[in-house]
Amino acid sequence: MLLFLLGYILCFRDIAKLNNCFVDAAKVIKTIHGDSYECVDIYKQRAFDHRTMRNHLLQHKMHWISSLKNSKQKPKSDKKFGFLWENGVGCPINTVPIQKITNDKLLRLNLHFDKYKPKGSWNFTNNQNSINKIQHHFAVARTKKGERKNYNGASMVVSVNDPEVKYPQFSSARMHVQMGDDFIQVGWTINPSLYPDFKPRSFVYTKAGKNQCYNSMCSSGIILVRRDIPLGVIRGPPTVRGAKPSAYDTYRILKDKANDRWWLEFGGINIGFWPSKIFQQSFANDIEWGGEAYTASLPGPQMGNGYFPLLDPNYDAHICNITTVDENYKIDGMVKNIETFSDNNHGYKVYEDLDSGLPVGHIIYFGGPGIILKKDKKIM
Ligand SMILES: *[C@@H]1O[C@H](CO)[C@@H](O)[C@H](O)[C@H]1NC(C)=O
Ligand SMILES: *[C@@H]1O[C@H](CO)[C@@H](O)[C@H](O)[C@H]1NC(C)=O
């Protein structure tokens, strides 16, 4: 009994070194913030239920980890993210952390799901007057429609902010990659229907045909490959307005020709992929960077940091160092072919600056208080 206890204590004390004594036994692990994740066998992720994946799975069972090593998408960093977890390591080998979501939550998510799904801005117009009907708001910079290109990738560096949101609203800062009618969105969101609190958390949203979902919640969801990097993890600390930004996140979406997958790189690390055949087409047409807010009623939630931009990185929510990758894999760090769009600039505004004089590349400032009045009143 004593020996057992002693072993137990040792095990907890040296948890980081003695991975196996704790992790292998656990199916559910917790982040340092107390969120529960289930460690799911890599090949039992929901995306492997997708019809295009059934054969893929058999053919590629061992292949895709090794192809990762050989491909262009080789991880640029060996950095480990054990520090995100209570157990100091993450999930056991060959499993990945999937957010535990209660049936209750799924039900609620589906209840207002249709209207509430993330969108691109292209179907919306400037200063839409039927404001009561419009529930999605955008303050974004996006590639110009007339100059359609075929993109193989895009990236951004996004400041982490904490706009005020009320259930069941959401407010996101994201990159949106449109492929025909399908798309991928990545960034942070404050979304109390999806997550348990009002903090900025990372998210991925996939639309592929009739299938669409957050993170790994459906068979078109992203296939995770890291055992130590969860989706939905709290980002931050959120930037204090007027001070130097305290937190940035880097996201890149890049198609790997070698294995025909779209990869998501987060902080320079490949964390997951989508087989490109689940999408209608194999390239992206349009990219968009900026804020998206959803509300069922007025006033809307804040976007960015809740203020209209002053064109100063220390005062504004922003996305900088944007890039696109063209059909020949040439990286464009200028991205001159963009336009700004806000569907209602009484609530949300956006500006872009290609020539700020700061080492931020092409920068997009966005945000606003979300107070949208019917009359053309100016709100500051
Ligand atoms: C615009 O709306 C139509 C009809 O609802 C939809 O089929 C299409 O995918 C939308 N386009 C974009 C770019 O969101
Ligand atoms: C943006 O890119 C520049 C130059 O490549 C780099 O110095 C800077 O640190 C980047 N900014 C952020 C916030 O990552």
Domains of the chain: 30-58+82-118+134-367 (2.60.120)
Instruction: Categorize the per-residue pLDDT at 108 as very low, low, confident or very high, splitting at 50, 70 and 90.
Output: confident
Mean of pLDDT values over 178-207: 96
Q: What integer pLDDT is reported at residue 77 of this predicted model? A: 55
Ligand 2 pocket residue status of 230, Cβ below 6 Å: no
CA of 360 to the centre of ligand 2 (A): 5
Given the DSSP bridges, would you call strands 170-179 and 36-41 parallel, antiparallel or unpaired? unpaired
Tens of pLDDT along 58-102?
444 444 444 444 444 444 556 789 999 999 999 999 999 999 877
Q: Which of 125, 144, 181, 212 to mutate to test the pocket of ligand 1 (most atoms within 8 A of CB)?
A: 181
Higher pLDDT, 115 or 168: 168
pLDDT at 327 over 60: yes
pLDDT at residue 233 tops 60: yes
Q: Which atom of ligand 2 is nearest to the CA of 245?
A: 13
pLDDT of residue 18: 41
Average pLDDT of the segment spanning 42-66: 64
Ligand 2 site, residue 248, Cβ cutoff 6 A: yes
Q: How confident is the model at residue 119 (pLDDT cuts 50, 70, 90)?
A: very high
- pLDDT given for residue 172 in this prediction: 98
Decide if pLDDT at 329 tops 70.
Answer: yes
Mean pLDDT for 277-284 is: 94
| Residue 356 Cβ contacting ligand 2 at under 6 Å | no
Which range (48-62, 145-159, 272-286, 287-301) has the least confidence?
A: 48-62
Q: Is the CB of residue 158 below 6 angstroms from any atom belonging to ligand 2?
A: no
The whole-number average pLDDT for the span 24-43 is 86
In this structure, the residue with its CA closest to atom 3 of ligand 1 is 123
Instruction: Indicate if ligand 1 lies below 6 Å from the C-beta of 121.
Output: no
Distance in Å, CA 14 to ligand 2 centroid:
37
pLDDT score for 339: 96
Residue 15 has pLDDT above 50, yes or no: no
pLDDT of residue 55: 58
Residue with the bigger pLDDT between 325 and 375: it is 325
CA of 322 relative to ligand 2 center, distance in Å: 10
Q: What is the pTM of this model?
A: 0.86
34 close to ligand 2 (CB < 6 Angstrom): no
Is any ligand 1 atom within 6 A of the Cβ of residue 123? yes
**In the prediction, which pLDDT does 312 show?**
96
Q: Is the CB of 161 under 6 A from ligand 1?
A: no
pLDDT in tens, 344-359: 889 999 999 999 999 9
